[in-house]
Structure 1
Amino acid sequence: MLYEKAPAKINLTLDVLHKRPDGFHEVEMVMTTVDLADRVWLRPTDKGKITIKASERYVPNDRKNLAYQAAELLQIEYGITNGVEITLEKSIPVAAGLAGGSSDAAATLRGLNRLWDLKLSLRELAALGAKIGSDVSFCVHGGTALATGRGEKIETLPAPPNCWVILAKPAISVSTGDIYGNLDLSTIDHADTGAMIDALRMGDYEKMCSTVGNVLENVTMQLYPQVVVLKEQMKKFGADAVLMSGSGPTVFGLVKHESRVPRIYNGLKGFCPEVYAVRMGGGHSILD
């Protein structure tokens, strides 16, 4: 049996530039991993069947699961006749804007690359990941990166300055397709991706906090006022910067001083069933 870690990600910035001829949106995103992760266990089987076992009953165990799709893709692309039993120990909330499913798929690609001795490079695995979902390429790499195109073009960036990350997910699930479908590109205030990259390269915590931005945030907040409440409360309790991750609904706060963390964490527990206090984890790519 083989084990892979599947970290969650947050978006320090998320900008949408235009709609592409293929129907996807052209994006610019600065993403980084945090120290909240699923565990993915891979056990080889002789028959070609792919089996998913998940710790949470609401996680699909068929082709709807991105880890299943990752294993099936490798079987098809490389003529693999062996099967695999994939066990997912979930810690990342589902449908939360934290790329839990994408990270599970990426971990499956990395793990099966070893298990089946495919000898694929990280770049090759990331290209395969792009066929599964827009965040999978980033999750194959991990660390901190600029993602462009529809999310599949990855440029490694310096890790953010050390800090705490408070994650709060309201008891709702958000459809990424619905959020993008309600996005009006003519009215958005674009995120300043360049300023965020500069902040990371300078290791400037204050500038990083002042340049977080997500153009999907207003769309999600209009549809789900719970996200507005969470943002307001997180600011009130003293986070240095507050932003929604991905298409939501998870809101994260950046906190430099550990002494503030308990107050923010405990305060949010009154508004939200799922709250996590974790460290920023985006210092290295998965395979460094």
Structure 2
Amino acid sequence: AAGILRWAGFEDPIAAANLGADVAFCLNGGRARVTGIGETLEHLPYHHQEITLLTPPLGVSTVDVYRAWDALDGPVGENGNDLEAAALSVEPELAEWRDALSGATGQKARLAGSGGTWFVEGHHDPFIYRGVASVNVTTLPAQHP
């Protein structure tokens, strides 16, 4: 959605956030601290970083995660992601994948968004867990201010 909106010259972050929590961020790109339901963006300077990702072959419904978060009275996440406990309650098998990434890298894995991708900082040797390979990614300078 953000690609089409950007192509059309659309710039309203509040309206973009109404289409989806990550649309406003994707509309602007770059690096940002995002609050609210995704409509409030604080742009941050570019920071070169390497990240290792592990995406399990699990379907984690964003709607179900937010419902679980509400049912849990909106817990604050220990790892900087308030949705982690809710995502784990929706899909308990996520914990197994988190633990695999942590064990392979020696770091505490963190959940991206409402799930199911786990990540750790740094470039780590690729590994395979239950047929799924970890992926190393390197941040790139933003193409859109």
TM-score range relative to shorter protein: 0.7 to 0.9
Q: 1:130: how far off?
A: 2.2
Aligned equivalent of 2:57: 171
SS at match of 2:13: helix
Change (3 A) 1:272 1:243: farther
User: What are the Cα deviations for residues 182-239 of structure 1, in whole angstroms up to 9, with x where unaligned?
Assistant: 12126x2356xxxxxxxxxxxxxxxxxxxx4212112222332321111111111125
Equivalent of residue 2 in structure 2, options 92, 106, 117: 106
| In structure 2, C-alpha distance between the alignment counterparts of 1:272 and 1:137, rounded to whole Å | 34
> Which of 32, 39, 47 matches 1:145?
32
Structure 2 unmatched ranges of 5 or more: none
Distance 1:241 1:107 in 2: 33
Q: Paired residue for 1:229?
A: 96
- Cα RMSD (Å): 2.3
- Mark the runs of 5 or more structure 1 residues left unpaired by the alignment: 1-104, 114-119, 192-211
Percent identity, please: 27
- Report if the CA contact (8 A) 2:100-2:129 is conserved: no
**Counterpart position of 2:144:** 287
Q: Distance in 1 between matches of 2:46 and 2:107?
A: 18
Shift of the alpha carbon at 1:271? 2.6
2:45 corresponds to: 158
Is the partner of 2:93 in helix, strand or coil?
helix
- Tell me: CA distance 1:109–1:272, structure 2 relative to 1, closer, same or farther (3 Å): farther
Query: Relative contact order (C-alpha < 8 Å, sep 6+): which is higher?
Result: 2
Q: If each structure's strand is expressed as a fraction of its own residues, which one has the higher value?
A: 1
Residue 190 to residue 248, structure 1, CA distance change in 2 (3 Å)? closer
Q: Aligned pair in 2 of structure 1 residues 190, 228: CA closer, same or farther (>3 Å)?
A: closer
The 8 Å contact of residues 214 and 246 in structure 1, kept in 2 or not, is answered as: yes
In the other structure, the counterpart of 2:130 is 271
- Partner SS state of residue 182, structure 1: helix
Amino acid at match of 2:29: G
| Cα distance per residue 1:53-80 (max 9 Å; x no partner) | xxxxxxxxxxxxxxxxxxxxxxxxxxxx
| 1:11-90 correspondence to structure 2 within 5 Å | none
Q: TM-score, normalized by length of structure 1?
A: 0.45
Cα distance in 1 for residues equivalent to 2:36 and 2:92: 30
Distance 1:175 1:234 in 2: 22
Aligned equivalents of 2:60, 2:110: Cα separation in 1: 16
Q: Which has the larger radius of gyration?
A: 1
- TM-score in terms of structure 2 length: 0.82
Deviations 1:64-119, CA, capped at 9 Å, x for gaps: xxxxxxxxxxxxxxxxxxxxxxxxxxxxxxxxxxxxxxxxx111111233xxxxxx
